Amino acid sequence: MNNQNLFRETFEFGETRGLIITDEEDAITAAKESLRENRRKLEEYIRRNPKFLYSLKPVKVDNDSPKVAKLMAEASEKAGVGPMAAVAGVLADLAVEAMLAKGARVALVENGGEVSAVSDRPINVALSAGNHPLSKRVGFKLENFPVGIATSSG
pLDDT tens string, the chain, 154 residues long: the values are 556 789 999 999 888 889 999 999 999 999 999 999 999 999 999 999 999 999 999 999 999 999 999 999 999 999 999 999 999 999 999 999 999 999 999 999 999 889 999 999 999 988 888 899 988 899 889 999 999 998 865 5
pTM for the full model? 0.92
Question: Residue ranges of the domains in the chain?
Answer: 7-150
Cα 119 from Cα 23, distance rounded (Å) = 10
Which residue type occupies 52? F
pLDDT computed for residue 13 by the predictor: 86
pLDDT computed for residue 38 by the predictor: 98
Cα 109 from Cα 89, distance rounded (Å) = 9
Cα 37 from Cα 24, distance rounded (Å) = 20
Contact 75, 92 (CB under 8 A): no
**Architecture category of domain 7-150 in CATH:** Roll (3.10)
CA distances from 1 to 56, 77, 93, 96, 125 (A): 38, 34, 20, 17, 9
